[in-house]
Structures are given as structure tokens and as C-alpha cells.
Amino acid sequence: MNPFFKEYDTAYQSIPFSKIKTEHYMPAFLEGIKQAEKELEDLVNSTENPTFKNTIEISEYSSKILSRTSKAFYNLLGAHTSEDLQKIAQEISPKLTKLSSDRVLNKVLFQKIKTVFENKANENLNPEQEMLLKETYNYFVRNGANLNDADKEILRGIDTELSTLSLTFGENVLKEINKYELHISQEEDLAGLPNGIKEAAALTAKNRNKTGWVFTLDGPSLIGFLKYADNRELRKKLHKASATKASKGDDLDNQDIVKKIVTLKSKRAKLLGFESHAAFVLAEQMATKVETVNNFLEDLLVKAKPFALKELNELQEFAKSIGGPEVLESYDVAYYSEKLKNKLFNFNDQQLKPYFKLENVLNGAFIVAEKLYGLSFKEINTVDKYHKDVMTYEVTDENGELVSLFYADFFPRESKQNGAWMNSLKAQYIKDGVNSRPHIINVCNFTKPTETQPSLLTFNEVTTLFHEFGHGLHGMLSNTQYKSLSGTNVYRDFVELPSQVLENWCFEKEALDLFAFHYETGDVIPNELVEKIKASSTFREASGMMRQLNFGMLDMAYHTTNPEAVTDIRSFERESTKETQLMPVNDYACFSTAFSHIFAGGYSAGYYSYKWAEVLDADAFEYFKENGIFNREIGEKFKECILSKGGTKHPMELYKDFRGTEPDNTALLKRAGLLVEIA
């Protein structure tokens, strides 16, 4: 029996990964499509007068087999993929796109939805039902329901091609990462590297049946080498491998794919009556229009650039003072920044890592959630896992009621995409009086344990864990009636608020005392180190902001510019981001071909949202600090006003329900140390 063909009879209705075989996916997808087509046919042929209940709500609860299959499949595609899964993805993608198009472009179905929408005053809808109706109607309109038949066919073709192009883009990036290694056989080439990094590289080599040390393009390996290796030529070599991912002119090259994606998205937007893809996307975001985003990014650029130039000059002078190059290159920045940080604050990541054992940091995130929201996390072994590295937890409230299942998958492997993300394996919703609780997963790529040390995190990895756990809490604490409005189904420029705000606790002594224990002695992190963490929190902050503005402006350029102007990817990158470039640009560098956020993820014309949400998170955390970072009343307010509400109200309404007023960027600039000289 195919596990997807019936409701799971497992503990918590969790995905029975051990019973699912690769050959189950395609039949399940095809059966799910068949079921969805029958449900669409029944809805279209119904002779009942269309109402919210028999049209909108029926659609909301449809496609059960397809939903189960997709949740399991697409999690594995990112977290534990294989060539077989990638082949299935390429084969099923156009079929799923066709199903979606058949539904959204069906004239009869849209007319029924339109009738319900226009007659909503005649139905006694609650606010969440009104939002679901509005979102459903807007979704159909924004995806071509009002187009003529000829344009609908053009749209179908565009959507089908885009679905396969984005898959190929992501596959190429992963293959590029997996095929590269920097194999070092001479120990002198490891000069400057801490023992933990060397030991991890030796373990990687051993696992690949090689002697010596192997460094890869996985985050912990790449960043560690660029930050500490004295050998400048090897830093350049590894940096070049990273900076040229999928842009080498071979069969994994994404340059033409980027051009095609940009062209198709522009064509699609214009077909739907928008000036650009960015205009199309932003019409359904907090920012609402391109001008708002461009002004937002430009405002931060004007404020951050003088500080960033000053930081670069200080770094350059410092590098020269210790025998470094006359002109810093991109592969020098992390190396000399770490040395300057050590000089200024007399500490570095290697001093911090012993206090950030992965298990302790994760437990710290759990304790923060307990103090703010009354949650308890209990590790369990009664649900299936798709890989031995995955940990599973039962999440309950103060009454012992189930809140969520939580999965944690933290270590790099060749079958996993780079980066860090949160997914929903089962959405939250309420049906027939039963609150079906969510299953949430955090997937990251942290420093792995070695033969002599546990997984010890850098401080950046600590904040990343808290960031993704913040997304996780947004999913876990969801309490909405409809799954399409639950959890993180919110505007893209609002979704980063719960994740980014939680990072703030990592800088507070009161929070660090709960989990930052030395992995050997058990000693709590000393006050001196906490003060250095806080003092150095704005170290090269303007430079970091410029990097984010670079990405945001590049994203907006791709999705507002006439795609015919995008003839050479490297040239377009440099021209579009020249105001954010503070250093010489390497001729070989090509970031776009691995910019998965916008070309293989959901952030196209939305990368600005990280900075946008920082304004919200800085303002929100000020509220916590004013009342105590573990103030339960404020925690409950954040849970009730934001975390539990999903997309049931406009994000600014949710934020004002919590804070009482709209935010401005004062708190962000203050936190970043960029306020004093601007005032």
C-alpha cells in the first residue's frame, strides 16, 4: 500500500518516512492530481448557488493526497535529495503547474468565486473567512483568471517553463557545491586555522577516503577557511570557487537560466497588467510599490555608506600595519576583519565556541520559548525520521496540550542544500471543531561534531539557530481556522519579523546565562565575554548592511529592468550594485548564478524584506527591553497578536495590535550604531 493514499496512522499523524520509498512518490502525485481534478470537476458542475461554504471552504480542504505527498517530497528535495528525487521533481513540476493553471484559469470556477466575493455582505462571515475569501479572489485575479483565452495559454506556457527553470537552477547550485573540494596535503598550508577547523577538514578527507585535509563550499568549511587561513593564495582559490558557482560556462552554468527567468517573469507581469515583476509582487506586500522599496533601500544606503567607507579604510590601514596587502581583495576581508576584531575587543569566535555546544544552544532556544510562551519541548523517538541526524520533539503548552511536532536537522551533507530554512511538514488548521496541530522543521548547516569535540557553534551559527527557530515558533504557535492563512503564510516582508526578533536574545546576558555553558567545564559564559559580544555587535555593521543592500538592489534591478538589457550577467550585477560596491570587484565573481533566494526560492522582488523586517524587529525588541526580555505579558501579546494569527489580518494591523503604533527605523539605526553621527 502506498503510504500517501490514506491518512497516516502514525503517532501524531507524522510522516512515516521509513515506509515511504522513492517509487511511491510518482504514483501518489498522479493519484493526487487525479483526485484534485475530480474535485475541481465536481465544484464546477455543482448546480448549487455558490456560497462561501460550498465554494471557498470546499476548495480549502481539498487535495488531501497531493498535500500529503508534496509536504514529504519537497522537504526531502531540499534536505535530503537524490538524483531520483530530482528526476521526479522535473517530471512532476509541469504536471502540478498544469493542475494549478487548470484550476485558476477555469472560467466557471472563477465566476463562482467572484459571485461569492461580490455577495459577501449576504453571508455572515467572520474576519478570517472574509480574509480567506479576499485572498482566494485576489489569487485567481493575480494568476490570470481575467485574461482572454489566448493570453491564458501564454500564461500557462510561462508558468510551466518557470517551474522547471527554478528547479534546474537549484540543482545546478547543489551539484556545483558538491563537486568542489580544496584538498590540502601539506600541513604548513593550514597555518592560522584553529584546531577544530583542521580536525573537521581531516574528518571530511577521511570520509572521502583521502589523506590530509579537505575543505568544501559548505558554509562552516568555507567560512572557517576564509576567516583564519594565513595562505592568501588558497583563500583566493576557495573564494573563487564559491564566487563562480554555476557560472563557468559548463553544463551547470546558470547564466542563461537567470536571463530566461527574468524575461519570463517580466513577460508574465505585463500580461497581468503590471509594469514589472517587482510591481506585481509588491502589490501584495507591506511595501506595496517599487518606489517605496527603492526609497527604503536608498535611505539606508545613504545612512550606512559613510560608516561603511570608514570601516573599510580602518580595515585597510590595519591590514597594512600587520604586513597585509596594499589593497584588500574580497578574499581578504573575513581574514583581516577577524584579526582586527581580536585586536579591538581582545576576543574571537574561537573563544566563544566552547560555550556554544549545539545541544545547549538548542535547549536555550527552548527555554526562551518556555519563558515567553509557556512551551515545553520533549525529545521523542516515536516518530519516523528521514535521516539519522534529524531530532524530533513533542511541543506542549502549560496545560500539557499538544502544540506541535518539531523536527531539527542541523548538519551539512551532500544531499542537502546550503543555507538554513524552516518548513511546514503539516499545516495547522481547525475543522469540525478539531484543531489539527502543525509539524514544523528547521533545516540548517552547522559545524559538525568531530572525533574529539561535539558540535561547537560560531556565534553567527547561534543567531542562525535562533533565527530559524523564530520562524519555527511562527509555525508552531499558529492558531487559525484555515491552513492557507496559517503559520508563515504572511506577506514576505513581514515573515522575517518573528525570526529576526528572536536573534536579539542571543546578545543578552540574562538569556545567555541559560544555555552558554563551557562544554568541558560546565562554567557559564563569563560576563567579560558577554560584554565583548555586545560591544562587538556593531563591529563592521555598516559593511554588513551594505552587503544586504547589495543583494536587495540587485534583486530589484533584475525585476524592474527591461530584461533585454540583461545581456551579460556579470556586467549587469556590477552596474546594478555599483553604489554598494566598496572594494574592487573580482573579474571572476558572479553572485547571481547562485542567488537561490530569488531564482530558486520565493524571494524574487522580496530580498529587501530582510532589512524591512529588521525595522520591525528592532522596534519590537525595544518593547521587550523596556519591560524585561522575559516579560511574560509582552510574550503572550506577541504570541496572540502576531505568532498565532498567520495571515488572518494585514501585517501592519497585526503589528499595531502588538506595539500600539507603526515602527520607524530609529531603533534599527540605534542598534546598528549608525544613529549618533546622523542626528
pLDDT tens digits for range 208-233: 999 999 999 999 999 999 999 999 99
The domain boundary residue, chosen from 99, 123, 146: 146
Quick one: cell of 311? 570601516
Amino acid at residue number 417: Q
Residue 164 in domain: no
313 and 215, same domain (yes or no): no
Question: Is 200 found in the same domain as 122?
Answer: no
Q: What is the mean pLDDT of the chain?
A: 95
As a whole number of Å, the CA-based R_g of the chain is: 25
The C-alpha cell that represents 2 in the structure block: 502506498
Residue 666 vs residue 462, higher pLDDT: 462
Q: What is the mean pLDDT of residues 86-106?
A: 97
| pLDDT at res. 439 | 98
The whole-number pLDDT of residue 6 equals: 95
Q: Which residue has the cell 522547471?
A: 164
For residue 671, is it within any domain? yes
- Determine, yes or no, domain membership for 253: no
Q: Are residues 186 and 327 in the same domain?
A: no
Residue 349 has pLDDT above 90, yes or no: no
Same domain? For 58 and 186 the reply is: no
Q: What global pTM score does this model have?
A: 0.94
CA distance 144 to 295: 30
664 pLDDT above the threshold of 80: no
CB atoms within 10 A of CB 378: 11
Q: Is the pLDDT of residue 261 over 90?
A: yes
Residue 638 per-residue DSSP state = H
- Residue 121: band (very low, low, confident or very high) from pLDDT cuts 50, 70, 90: very high
Total number of domains constituting the chain: 3
Residue 264 lies in a domain: no
Q: Find where cell 491518512 sits.
A: 7
Give residue 128's domain range: 3-146
Q: At what angle do helices 83-104 and 64-79 cross, to 10 degrees?
A: 140
**What's the pLDDT score for residue 675?**
63
The C-alpha cell at 8 is: 497516516
pLDDT band for 677, please (50, 70, 90 cuts). Answer: very low
Q: Do 406 and 527 belong together in one domain?
A: yes
pLDDT for the residue numbered 672: 78
Give the least confident one: 387-401, 406-420, 544-558, 662-676: 662-676
Whether 325 and 449 map to the same domain: the answer is yes
Residue 456's domain is classified under what CATH number? Answer: 1.10.1370.40
How far apart, in whole angstroms, are the C-alpha atoms of residue 152 and residue 270? Answer: 13
Query: Which region among 45-59, 160-174, 264-278, 653-667 has the lowest average model confidence (pLDDT)?
Result: 653-667
Residue 392's beta-bridge partner residues? 407
Residue 616 located in a structural domain? yes
325, part of any domain: yes
Number of Cβ within a 10 Å radius of residue 175: 17
Does residue 188 share a domain with residue 63? no
Distance of CA 317 to the CA centre of its chain: 36
- Note whether 333 and 223 are same-domain residues: no
Are 437 and 356 found together in one domain?
yes
* Confidence grade of residue 679 (pLDDT, cut at 50, 70, 90): very low
Enumerate the active-site residues: 468
* Residue 356 and residue 499 in one domain: yes
Q: Final residue of a domain: which of 190, 223, 243?
A: 243
Torsion of CA 314, 319, 325, 331, to 10 degrees: -90
440 is a domain residue: yes
Express as a percent the part of the chain with pLDDT over 70.
99
Q: In percent, how much of the chain has pLDDT > 90?
A: 95
Query: Does one domain contain both 224 and 310?
Result: no
Residue 564 burial (CB count, 10 A): 9
Does a structural domain hold residue 252? Answer: no
Same domain, 395 and 460: yes
Across the range 376-391, mean pLDDT stands at 97
Q: What's the CA dihedral at 670, 673, 674, 679 to 10 degrees?
A: 60
